[in-house]
A and B are shown apart, each in its own frame.
Chain A
Amino acid sequence: MKILKLGQMLGGSNAPSGASEFENLYSLSFDGVDDYVTCGDADVFTPNNSGANRGFSVSFWIKAANPSGKRILNKNQCFYSGANHYEYFILSDFFAKPTFFLYAGDSTSNAITFRLDSSLSADTWHHIAFTWNLGSTNADMIGYINGVAHSVAIGNATWSLLGSWTSVSNTNCPLEFGRASSQYAAINLDEVALFDNQLSAAEVSAIYNGGTPTDLSGESYLLGYWRNGDTEGTSVYPTIEDYSSNSNDGTMTNMDSGDIVTDVP
Chain B
Amino acid sequence: MANISQVDFSQVHQTSEATLRLSVDGKETVLKFTGNTPSFLVGLQQYNHSEILAIMASSEWTKKEE
Residues on A lying within 8 angstroms of B by beta carbon are 1-9, 31-34, 77, 108, 181-184, 186, 238, 253-256, 258
Q: Kindly list 18 other residue pairs between chains A and B, CB separation below 8 angstroms, not including A4-B46, A256-B13, A258-B34.
A: A1-B28, A1-B29, A2-B29, A2-B30, A3-B33, A4-B31, A4-B49, A5-B47, A32-B56, A33-B56, A34-B19, A34-B21, A182-B21, A182-B24, A254-B14, A254-B15, A254-B19, A256-B34
A165 to chain B, nearest CB (A): 19
Looking across the interface, which residue of chain A has its beta carbon closest to that of B35? Answer: A7
Known contacts A255-B13, A256-B13, A256-B34; is A3 also within 8 Å of B19 by CB?
A: no
CB atoms of B32 and A8 under 8 A apart: no
CB-defined contacts of A5 to chain B, threshold 8 Å? 32-34, 37, 46-48
Q: How far is the CA of A1 from the CA of B32 in the complex (A)?
A: 11
Q: Which of A2, A34, A258 contacts B28 (CB 8 A)?
A: A2
Q: Are B49 and A8 in contact (CB under 8 A)?
A: yes
Size class of the B contact interface (CB-based, 8 Å): 20 to 34
B52 → chain A, closest Cβ, in Å? 4
B55 touches A2 (CB 8 A): yes
Compute how far the CA of A33 lies from the CA of B28 in the bound complex, rounded to whole angstroms: 13
- State A108–B3 Cα separation when bound (angstroms): 37
**Cα distance, A4 to B56, chains bound together (Å):** 11
| Number of inter-chain CB pairs below 8 Å | 93
Chain A residues contacting B44 (CB-CB under 8 Å) are: 1, 3
CA distance A3 to B49 in the complex (A): 10
Q: Please indicate the chain B residues that have their CB under 8 angstroms from the CB of A181 in the complex.
A: 63
Interface residues of B in 34-61 (CB under 8 A from A): 34, 37, 41, 44-49, 52-53, 55-56, 61
Q: B21 contacts which chain A residues (CB < 8 A)?
A: 33-34, 182, 184, 254
Could you list which residues of chain B lie within 8 angstroms of chain A, going by C-beta atoms? 3, 13-15, 19-21, 24, 28-34, 37, 41, 44-49, 52-53, 55-56, 61-63, 66
Report if A3-B31 is in contact (Cβ < 8 Å); known contacts: A33-B56, A34-B20. yes
Distance between B66 CB and nearest chain A CB, rounded to angstroms: 7
* Pairwise interchain contact B47-A3, C-beta atoms closer than 8 A: yes
- Across the interface, do B53 and A1 meet the contact criterion of CB distance under 8 Å? no
Contacts A/B (CB < 8 Å), 18 sampled: A1-B28, A3-B41, A3-B44, A5-B32, A5-B46, A31-B32, A33-B53, A77-B66, A108-B66, A182-B24, A182-B63, A184-B21, A184-B56, A253-B15, A254-B13, A254-B15, A254-B19, A255-B15
Q: How far is the CA of A2 from the CA of B56 in the complex (A)?
A: 10
Q: How far is the CB of A85 from chain B (nearest CB, A)?
A: 13
Closest 5 CB pairs of A and B: A34-B21, A9-B49, A4-B52, A4-B32, A182-B63
Chain B residue at minimal CB-CB distance from A258 = B34
Best-surrounded residue of B48, B52, B61 (most CB of chain A within 10 A): B52
CA distance A1 to B46 in the complex (A): 10
CA distance A7 to B24 in the complex (A): 27
